[in-house]
Structure 1
Amino acid sequence: MSTPTLRLIDRQVPNDVDRLQAVLEAAPGYSLAVEGKLPTPDAAIEVLDALPPGKDHSDKSVYEIALDAEPVGCLEMVRGYPETDIAFIGLLLFQEGSQGRGFGPQVLRRAEAIGISWQCRALRIAVIDTNPRALAFWEREGFIELLRKPAMDFVGQAIVMERALPAAEGI
């Protein structure tokens, strides 16, 4: 089996935006489950432009996940959110034809390496409770629920989960 690669998406490169848009459109089940609608024609721009409170674009990285140079998914991470020692995964998504093939855990290891390089102690995510398949993935990967809260622009509640990064264990 090929190993997926990560490549930083450049918002200023139209082909990068188009490739991200294609991935988002190839995962309609995700959008329907968490937003109640299909991806908009501007979904890639929305992902690239969205920032949590107090953060700017220098804190955010969006990666294309590729298999044999073809985009199959995306990974969005924010450094130091909501605390300075947390790496927040805003989105880990694969097009539907690439789901269930074992790529998620492989990409998660890469996300861990990014978080460690940012000197973070943990990875944090927010899973929308209307996406049980994603929730099951994060639970299998050892993420522990911290809290549930309303999620603006989503159909369900956000389940905030966290897992310590390997280098941070025992601190």
Structure 2
Amino acid sequence: MYDNIERELKLLVDEKAYNELLRSYDFHNPIIQTNTYFDTDNQDVKKQHGAVRIRTIQGKKIFTLKIRKDEYTHYEFEKEINTENINEINDPEILNWFDQYQIPKNLNPIASFTTLRNVYEFENGELCLDKTVYNHKIDYEIEYEYTSDHDGIHFFNSILEKYGLKWIKNCPSKIARAMND
């Protein structure tokens, strides 16, 4: 992420392609992350083209607010917090983000799932392989996240073509997939 901008290209793959990719790069230290997403009963966050989540990694809790800028770019604001209860957050910076993007404060958990993430770093971005377990299904996703400005689409497709894959547009987000579970 650079300057609160997250640019990522995402593609769902089958288990076979996931395993081939996993063997093709020297991934180190896979992490398990639990993601809990929040919204109002009226889906006010979704209506803002946003997402609010608390991600837990090895006991560390990270608050994230994402607001969609375009097809594969988001404004992303993150901060470590000390609670899993969204309604207990009283950090002035986070509350300012809520005000700035008209995010209501009466949020409820709407989805929770666990992802095993493997990351491989390139000069201008990160390749992430995610195996996500929802309530009743498992899916596999490859993601290329920019860390600096460059032609990421061409770069990502050059990786994918070795596996007979091509990125055309982003697959639905994990939260969207969780809500369809």
Q: TM-score, normalised by structure 1?
A: 0.30
- Higher strand share goes to which structure? 2
Q: Which has the larger radius of gyration?
A: 2
Q: TM-score, normalised by structure 2?
A: 0.29
- Higher helix share goes to which structure? 1
Q: RCO greater where, 1 or 2, for CA within 8 Å and sep 6 or more? A: 2
